[in-house]
Amino acid sequence: MDNILVFTDMDGTLLDHDTYSFAAAAPTLEALKNRGIPVIPTTSKTFAEMLVLRKQIDLAGPFIVENGAAAYIPHGFFDQKPTGTVWQDGFWCKSFISSKNYWLKLLEKIKDEYAGEFTHFSQMSIEQIQQATGLDEASAKLAAQRQFGEPVLWQGEDSRKQDFIDSIRSRGAYPLEGGRFIHVSGDCNKGDALRWLVSEYERQHHCKARSIALGDGKNDVAMLEAADVAVRIASPSHAPPAVNKDENVFTSTKLGPEGWTEILTSLLSLPI
């Protein structure tokens, strides 16, 4: 057993930014599976979305949703019940924050101050979510089933965007900028969820694990900094995120799943 854990963002990283295809990474995914190395989606996506995506990509291990709000671990991945989890929807679930209702109330309080400058999932129709994300109708319905946080679509001037982020942060929110949305939720991030899952893995396997994290956006920074090895995936829409880490930081030259394959193949000497 390699005792390596691969934590990966989805949109723009394992999934192509425009087409959502993972085809370019399929051979690498198969090679990792053959090596017994878990690939753990660590994403802004919802539990409902990940149930479908895991089947499409043929992943059977844990996954982390809504930017680190909760980790879901399938029965049998560990020999014992993971610490601090509850059995929920067919998985052991470790929640790190409470539900999204609090943050919906916060957005309601500031909507007059930023009138016409933003909208968010709970106010958007499925068709509008499709237009903003490029998802098909079925996928957009899954994306709308959020449990912990709320994606905000900024529609105002760029010069006002940071003011908006500062405003909701001053009211107790922890906004994270993803590739398309500002994700508003409580005090959680992908890095803390990664640390918890690595710690639980080490506790149950009685060994030291090595973590590799791959991401392309600002909401991936905490995960990239928490991992032993950080991989920044090149994006067609923005520069690689800045990370406060000097060693074991790699940046792909190729985009999305091609970059994903490029770096992991090199790092782990996987067959191409």
The residues annotated with a catalytic role in the active site are 9
Q: Give the C-alpha distances (Å, rounded to integers) separating 245 from 224, 228, 232, 266.
A: 9, 10, 12, 20
In 3D space, the residue among 45, 23, 26 whose CA is nearest the CA of residue 34 turns out to be 26
Q: What are phi and psi of 129, to 5 degrees?
A: -65, -40
HSE, side-chain direction, 13 A CA sphere, residue 211:
27
Strand partners, 212: 6, 229
C-alpha 109/C-alpha 22 separation (Å) is 40
Q: Dig out the tokens for 30 from the structure.
A: 């198969």
Q: Dig out the tokens for 202 from the structure.
A: 């080490």
Residue 55 CB coordination number (10 Å): 10
In 3D space, the residue among 1, 8, 2, 3 whose CA is nearest the CA of residue 263 turns out to be 8
DSSP 187-232: S--HHHHHHHHHHHHHHHHTS--EEEEEE-SGGGHHHHHHSSEEEE
Q: Dig out the tokens for 49 from the structure.
A: 């979305």
C-alpha 143/C-alpha 150 separation (Å) is 11
